[in-house]
Homo-oligomer: A and B are copies of this chain.
Amino acid sequence: MQVGVRREQRAGERRVAATPETVLQLRALGLDVAVESNAGAGAGYADAAFAAAGASIVPELIAESLDVLLHVRPLEPETAAGLRPGTVSIGFASPASELPGVRALAAAGVTSFALELVPRISRAQSMDALSSQSLVSGYRAVLEAALRYPRFFPLYMTAAGTIPPARVLVLGAGVAGLQAIGTAKRLGARVSANDIRAASADEVASMGGTFIHLDLDTRTADPSAEGSGGYARELGEDRAKRQRALLAPHVAAADVLITTAAIPGRAAPLLVTTEMVAGMRAGSVVVDLAAESGGNVEGVIAGRDLQIPVDGGSVTLVGLQDAASAMPSDASRLFAKNVANLLALMTADGKVVPDFDDEVVAASCLTHGGSVRHAATAEALEAFK
């Protein structure tokens, strides 16, 4: 069977859905692999390396000849429309926001797997691309902050005096947040963090951060804030307001603020108002990793650095965009492995045959046989019509 690896089309996207290493893995499963020429160029994987691993390099993938299409970013509706019925596609699909693409996949009869839907169970960890890419973006967020911060992160005791360590505050302690905590800590900063999920306190501590307990409703933490799959749930507006009020002094005390709060399929929660940013010291840096989904920080613009005037200077507000794609070699390495592992789960004897009795296969499937299998997306699509 023919597996195609796409050269990504979206501007700024440097990742690729396969690497020479995963081509070897797929070949060992008995699959043929065609890689669009230069598909890996942006990530540092040359055509020659793919060819050496046994892939054929093609100028353009021929949709009619593909059994499986591997991709990073959601397929455009016109690409989805060109696929043969029964083609298996694996990649990100952004089912909550890319409804025209979902509809096109369903209409074309594609059996599409959305990596966002991979369940957060231990057996599926090796296929969890949201986690693997968050690992990259959490690390990256700290580098981007450190580069813009006009001071050191670590403590220095020098002959010309002592430089205190930077105080870094991380909001949202999912994979990206924990990684940001760990990286800032490595660099020598003093790190504190908050997450509305009470369970994250231990994880924050294990990465070297100090957990900030907010008394949101007279209890120290609210187990109901944890939604399915370990992700956070949305707070009611009253509690969200109280959350911001309680966070304000911590934000004001921070030199560097990194926000990573996301709710799957929803706009990012507003955690930090412009007023809160205005309370920070001049020279402070705010990096909003949720900028692409609306932002945790009021007024943030994805892909832009804004200077927010404060007493005596300004605060730099960074709307981080394509954070994982900015470290394309390792991001692709992990992503490609996630994709190959999911594909391996549905491949036997050189044939790709999704078994919907497997809970990982069943949960990850977005469209199949002409319909949308993922209930929430099907509902959204109904409403969208």
Q: Please, what's the 1-or-0 string for A333-345, where 1 marks a CB less than 8 Å from any CB in chain B?
A: 1100110010000
Q: Please, what's the 1-or-0 string for A266-284, where 1 marks a CB less than 8 Å from any CB in chain B?
A: 0000000000000000110
Closest chain-B Cβ to A25's Cβ sits at a distance in Å of 10
Complex contact A135–B151 (CB within 8 A): no
- Is A79 in the interface zone, CB < 8 Å from B? no
Which residue of B49, B152, B313, B330 is within 8 Å of A41 (Cβ)? B313
Which residues from B are CB-within-8-Å of A161?
333-334, 337
Which residues from B are CB-within-8-Å of A312?
44, 46, 48-49
The docked-state distance in angstroms from the alpha carbon of A147 to that of B148 is 11
The docked-state distance in angstroms from the alpha carbon of A311 to that of B47 is 11
Which residues from B are CB-within-8-Å of A147?
143-144, 147
Q: In the complex, what residue of chain B is closest to A332 when comparing beta carbons?
A: B150
Complex contact A126–B160 (CB within 8 A): yes
A residues 307-341 in Cβ contact with B at 8 Å: 311-313, 327-330, 333-334, 337-338, 341
For chain A, the bracket of interface size reads 35 or more
Closest chain-B Cβ to A322's Cβ sits at a distance in Å of 13
Q: In the complex, what residue of chain B is closest to A21 when comparing beta carbons?
A: B161
Which residue of B43, B132, B334 is within 8 Å of A150 (Cβ)? B43
Complex contact A132–B154 (CB within 8 A): no
The docked-state distance in angstroms from the alpha carbon of A46 to that of B314 is 11
- Is A163 in the interface zone, CB < 8 Å from B? yes
A residues 155-185 in Cβ contact with B at 8 Å: 156, 158-161, 163, 183
Which residues from B are CB-within-8-Å of A337?
160-161
Which of A139, A337, A341 gathers most chain B CB within 10 Å?
A: A139
Q: In the complex, what residue of chain B is closest to A341 when comparing beta carbons?
A: B160
Complex contact B186–A154 (CB within 8 A): yes
Complex contact A330–B163 (CB within 8 A): yes
- Is A240 in the interface zone, CB < 8 Å from B? no
The docked-state distance in angstroms from the alpha carbon of A306 to that of B147 is 20
- Is A128 in the interface zone, CB < 8 Å from B? yes
Closest chain-B Cβ to A324's Cβ sits at a distance in Å of 11
Which residues from B are CB-within-8-Å of A206?
none
The docked-state distance in angstroms from the alpha carbon of A296 to that of B128 is 43
Which of A135, A160, A188 gathers most chain B CB within 10 Å?
A: A160
- Is A301 in the interface zone, CB < 8 Å from B? no
The docked-state distance in angstroms from the alpha carbon of A49 to that of B313 is 11
Known: A49-B312, A135-B156. 9 other contacts (CB 8 A): A128-B160, A139-B154, A151-B327, A151-B329, A151-B330, A152-B327, A163-B330, A186-B186, A186-B188
Please give the residue numbers on chain A whose beta carbons come within 8 Å of chain B beta carbons, in ascending order.
14, 41, 43-44, 46, 48-49, 125-128, 131-132, 135-136, 139, 143-144, 146-147, 149-152, 154, 156, 158-161, 163, 183, 186-188, 282-283, 311-313, 327-330, 333-334, 337-338, 341
- 5 CB contacts below 8 A, A to B, read A43-B150, A46-B282, A125-B159, A128-B159, A139-B154
